[in-house]
Amino acid sequence: MWAFIQAAWVKKVHPESKALLYYGIAVGLFVLMFGGAFMAGVQGQAAAGRERVFLLFRLGGAIMWLVAAFNMRSSIEEHFNSALSPSVLSL
């Protein structure tokens, strides 16, 4: 939840940031993984969580989460480096 709040703030101060989109994709992949594994478990498949498609959803969600975090980091750095440039801080 906190990642979405941070990404929304970054989107406000740096509109070109795509961190919020990437976090949304990551959560969507995690929901697909859990929902699909749950439905397969309800149908009686004991090893549903270990199927390749669910592992791919998990891996894809984790990668997108990391991409979002690093995208947000670069946007924050760009925002503060431009706001605190030496010309602004000169006396």
Q: Looking at the chain, list the stretches that DSSP marks H as alpha helix, in order from N- to C-terminal side.
A: 2-13, 19-42, 52-83, 86-89
Question: Average pLDDT of 74-84?
Answer: 82
pLDDT value at position 91? Answer: 40
CA–CA separation, 78 vs 91, rounded Å? 23
Residue 61 pLDDT level (bands cut at 50, 70, 90)? very high
pTM greater than the 0.85 cutoff: no
Residue 90 pLDDT level (bands cut at 50, 70, 90)? very low
Residue 51 carries which DSSP code?
A: S
In 10 A of CB 14, how many CB atoms?
A: 18
